[in-house]
């Protein structure tokens, strides 16, 4: 796994067609995009964890819920700080 190479694909829709490209996320000019993708993935995991716990337990205890909400807020803050090019929902 240490020698594994990561490749990120980009799908772009334009008025004239569709363009797909692949790039190495560790290139200097692509690192910010890769960091945004990592944070979006972590944010999604945190949101899913909150939802799953609420469904399974019919609510979270206050301490657990607050801890997960703080983690989610921190991830959203980091995304806001580094994300200047992408729309994240």
Domain coordinates in residue numbering, the chain: 8-82
Residue 17: what pLDDT? 92
Residue 27: what pLDDT? 76
Residue 78: what pLDDT? 87
**Separation between Cα atoms, residue 50 and residue 70, nearest integer Å:** 12
Mean pLDDT of the 28-40 span = 80
User: CA-based Rg of the chain, rounded to a whole angstrom?
Assistant: 17
**Separation between Cα atoms, residue 46 and residue 52, nearest integer Å:** 10
**Cβ pair 9, 37 in contact under 8 A:** no
Residue 1: what pLDDT? 45
Does 68 or 59 have the greater pLDDT score?
Answer: 68
* Burial of residue 72, with CB atoms counted within 10 A of its CB: 0-12 exposed, 13-18 middle, 19 or more buried: middle
């Amino acid at each position: 796994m240490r020698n594994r190479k990561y490749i990120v694909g980009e799908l772009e829709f334009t008025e004239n067609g569709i363009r797909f490209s692949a790039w190495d996320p560790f290139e200097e000019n692509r690192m910010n995009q890769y960091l945004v993708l990592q944070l979006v993935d972590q944010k999604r995991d945190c949101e899913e964890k909150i939802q799953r716990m609420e469904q399974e337990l019919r609510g979270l205890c206050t301490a657990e819920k607050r801890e997960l909400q703080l983690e989610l807020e921190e991830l959203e803050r980091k995304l806001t700080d580094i994300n200047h090019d992408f729309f994240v929902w």
